[in-house]
Amino acid sequence: MKIDENLSDVHYNLGNALYLNEQIDDAIIHYQRAISLNPKKPESFYNLGNALCVKQEYEQAVKNYQIALELDPHNAPAFYNLGNALYMLNKFDESVKYYNKALEINNDSPECHFNLASAYNDLQQYKFAIKHYRIAIDIQEKKDRDGGVEEGKHANVDAYVCLGNVYEAIHENANAVKMY
């Protein structure tokens, strides 16, 4: 059977447009159609995984991210989103594995460091949680400085609060106060 990549791309692009228009059910249908026409396009599986996450269908999202990664093993966003889907399934050990794989490809993602820190926090591996919350803060502050964000106005407030919570959990209250 010959794959009609052009027709597959039509469904893929329509799925993207529907996703952006928050018509998630329809987007899913078109991503699935794109996949049936061209099962070798990792982006279709990746975007289907994203749409499934919006619907909180994390088990199915995991399967699609895994297929996307089989087709493109250097896709940092797919590793990151696979980590997110596993995190939402309370599979923190597995999420750590995939966040780390995403960081091997792109170590400059404050979001990935933040989510990795959160997974470590849930695993009560506080030393690693502190390390990655700090990295997330540092990366975001550098991006803020480079982008002209005013000193003292932090885009990554959540990282400070979460880091403070970790310090509280390990009874380092003076450090916790500094984060709040």
pLDDT digits (tens, 9 = 90+) for 111-148: 999 999 999 999 999 999 999 999 999 999 898 888 76
pLDDT at 156 over 90: no
pLDDT recorded at residue 117: 98
Share of the chain above pLDDT 70, in %: 93
Dump pLDDT digits (tens) for 80-118. 999 999 999 999 999 999 999 999 999 999 999 999 999
All structural domains of the chain, each given as residue ranges with its CATH number in brackets, are 1-106 (1.25.40.10), 107-180 (1.25.40.10)
Checking 119-123 for CB contacts under 8 A at 24+ apart, the result is 119/83, 119/87, 119/92, 119/95, 120/96, 121/162, 121/165, 121/166, 121/169, 122/92, 123/92, 123/93, 123/96
